[in-house]
Each structure stands twice: as structure tokens, then as C-alpha cells.
Amino acid sequence: MTELSSTSADETRLVRTQGVTAPAGFRAAGVAAGIKKSGALDLALVLNEGPDHVAAGVFTRNQVKAAPVLWSQQVLTTGRLRAVILNSGGANACTGPGGFQDTHATAEALAEALSHWGTETGAVEVAVCSTGLIGDRLPMDRLRAGVTEIVHEMAGGLSGGDEAARAIMTTDTTPKQTALHHRDKWTVGGMAKGAGMLAPSLATMLVVLTTDAVADAEALNLALRSAAAKTFDRLDIDGSCSTNDTVLLLSSGASGVRPSQDELDAAVRQVCDDLCAQMQADAEGVTKRVLITVAGAHSEDDAVTAARVIARDSLVKTALFGSDPNWGRVLAAVGMVPFPIEHNRITVSFNGSPVCIDGAGAPGARDVDLSGPDIAVEVDLGLGEASATIRTTDLSHAYVEENSAYSS
């Protein structure tokens, strides 16, 4: 085992063609269990073959939590996981005590199938994630059969990371995965679906991160929480929050390398940030990728709050959809932050061009070109030194269409 100094840029390499099976000690699979009516892949498995089985998780802050969230929160209290089973095609949220029994039964079925295959597993070592429509019970007969099938599939030996990433998609148009290879021969991989997390969420966000670094549960927990706070928690598509959001980090220790906490933090954060960028780019109805930065705040919390208020403002988001440099809407949004500001100190720029200086319009503000797919909104409150950035998108016809035309 090696204790290393903190990472610098050239110590790591990100590869988007790999995912949860990039680190040593992990297998994955994805199958079509018939939960989705379309016949698409809808059941995913990630198995940690060890030698370690350390794990940490963060979950939705929504008070209405889906059965799989309640289950997975409970099993995570042990700080260890052997496997994660994930389904799309149904959220198993607001399904009453029966729904919780279904989640429990799914974990039991997987533990049994894995044990039968030779990996002695208890249900308490299995996290469950679900995504899809809220309110309907899952088709348990199909799910049980799917669990048996997916363990067989995985036993086939092929790396099924791609299939797993596909099987958790709902309104996603592309699978999302990435892997970070550290120069010192340890790796962090991840797959994600949806966009939004914790406070915000467009659809459910499910993320499974894997690493072959050696780390105890506390180290994983610290790395995951600090990464989530700076990445998933700052991705705010529509301010809605899912009942099912779950991010899990599993460590196999198979590399034999124990990175420093700083290195682990940095690597996990980089993987999370890349998955965030992929989720933002594929958010429902997105036509613009928008970065809202608030600087000059008294604290980072204030900066996050202000950036989030702007990111959630429908009038700002529709203006950006229209490529309209309507900075007045940004000012009006900022004016609603829950801490005192001074409107005549506020400066705003769009894509680097100043549009508002000291609370009033800058020359040429109405002519700034926002026609490209990326828009940077920078607001300086002129009060302090802290800053923060929120990733969001515009509010488009496609967003309305996608969210009104059918139940999701």
C-alpha cells in the first residue's frame, strides 16, 4: 500500500468509454426483464468481488422517500455492500408497505442467486435502486426472473458495465459513464442516469461509483459527501427533487493502493463532476447548457443559494432558451435571495460580456450573442469574496413536451 501526496492534473486520466467495471474487483450486467413495456434493458447489477466490500451512500433529501431508498439507507448503516441491483421502469415510491416488501424481496432474491452462483451474500449486503413512474407496484414476477437471469448473465464473464449503464436509463437519451485512472494504479469508475440530485432533480438521479482503492467506510463517506455537495448538489435542472435519488460508492480494495484522503476526494469529485456534465448535457428538453456563477458573496452558502435562485427562475430560463440577453430577469431573480443584498453593487455578465454594472444596464447589453449551446451567467454581488457555480439548463418547448405528453 502506498500513501501518496495530493494529486495534480497529469496524475489522472478520465475515460468516458468505461464505467463501473473499470476498477478491479467489479462486475456488472444489464438485462431486459420486461419491467419496461418497451422491452428495453431495465435491470442492472453491480457486483463487488472484493477483497473489500466497503461502501457509502447519499440519498434524496425529499421527505417522501421511495421504498428502495429506505432500504438502501438502512443497509448502508453497516458501511458495507456486496452488490447493487437497479431497475428502471418503476420507482417503487408511494407504494405503501407492500412496496417496501417488494424491495426487500428483490434484495433477498439477488442474495440467493449470488449465493447459488458461489458468492455467499446476505440481503443486508444488497442495495436496491429504482427509477420510473411514482405510485405503481413493480411486476415482481418479472423482477424475480430478471434477477436470476442477470446473475447468469454476469457469470458469463463479459464486462457488462455498458449494459448496466443502459439498463438504468429512463428519459436519458445516452448512457452516462466515466472512469478515472490514477497514475498510481488505482481507478474510480461510475455510471449515472437522470439529472439532478438531493435538493434538485429533474428525473431520479441514480449513480453507482466504484473504486479499487483501499479505503475504509469513513474515508469513502467523506469523499462521497464532499464530492456530492460540490457536484450533484449543484446540478439544478428544474428545482424538483426525486423520491429516489441515490448515489453509492463501493470499494473493492483490489488495487492494493490506499490513496490519501485528499487524493480520494479529488478523484471521486472528478468522476462525479464528469457525470454531472453528462447529465446536464442530456437533461430533459435541454437546448442550452448554462453555468450560473455567483461571486462576491459573504459566504459560499450564500453564493450557492443565490445561484440556485437564478437557476430555478422560469423567466430567466425561458429567456436563455430564446437566446435573449434579458439581464433584468437575472436582477429580479437575485432580488429574491433570502439574505440582504445591495442592488446597486450587482454586476452581471453573459459569456464574459458585461450586461449590468452596479445595478444598471451596460452599453451594448441587449446585443450580447447567446445563440450558442453554452451560456455562462456571472453575477458579482459586490459584498464579499465567496463564489459558487450551479449547472442548469434552459426551459424549452421540449422540456414542456417531454414532461406533459406522458407520465414519467
Q: Using CA atoms, how far apart are residues 299 and 315, in angstroms rounded to an integer?
A: 26
Strand intervals (E) in 276-405 = 289-297, 347-350, 353-357, 360-361, 374-380, 386-393
The site for a copy of itself, by CB under 8 A, has a size of 66
Identity of the residue numbered 67: A
Is 305 marked as binding a ligand? no
x/- track of binding to a copy of itself for residues 267-296 (CB under 8 A)? ------------------------------
Amino acid at 218: E
**Which residues ranging from 301 to 320 are in contact with a copy of itself (CB under 8 A)?**
312-315, 318-319
Q: Which C-beta is closer to a copy of itself: that of 213 or that of 368?
A: 368
Q: How far apart are CA 190 and CA 9, in angstroms?
A: 19
193 is in an annotated binding site: yes
Name which of 70 and 229 has its Cβ closer to a copy of itself.
70
- What is the distance between the alpha carbons of residues 162 and 167, in angstroms, rounded to a whole number? 9
Taking alpha carbons only, the member of 21, 47, 46, 44 closest to residue 31 is: 44
Q: Bridge partners of 380?
A: 295, 347
Q: Which is nearer to a copy of itself, 150 or 395 (CB)?
A: 395
Please name which of 31, 25, 282, 227 lies closest in space to residue 145, comparing C-alpha atoms: 31
Instruction: Find the shortest distance in angstroms from Cβ 160 to a copy of itself.
Output: 30
Question: Among all chains, which residue has been given the C-alpha cell 469513502?
Answer: 220
Of residues 349-388, those binding a copy of itself (CB under 8 A): 356, 358-361, 365-366
Does 136 interact with a copy of itself (rule: CB under 8 A)? yes
Cell 414532461 locates to 403
Is 204 designated active site? yes
93 binds a copy of itself (CB under 8 A): yes
- Pick from 341, 370, 375, 390: which binds a copy of itself (CB under 8 A)? 341
CB-based burial label for 261 (10 Å; 0-12, 13-18, 19+): middle
Q: Which residues are catalytic?
A: 204
List residues binding a copy of itself (CB under 8 A). 61-65, 91, 93-96, 99, 133-136, 202, 238-243, 312-315, 318-319, 321-322, 324, 326-329, 331-337, 340-341, 343-344, 346, 356, 358-361, 365-366, 395-397, 399-401, 403-408
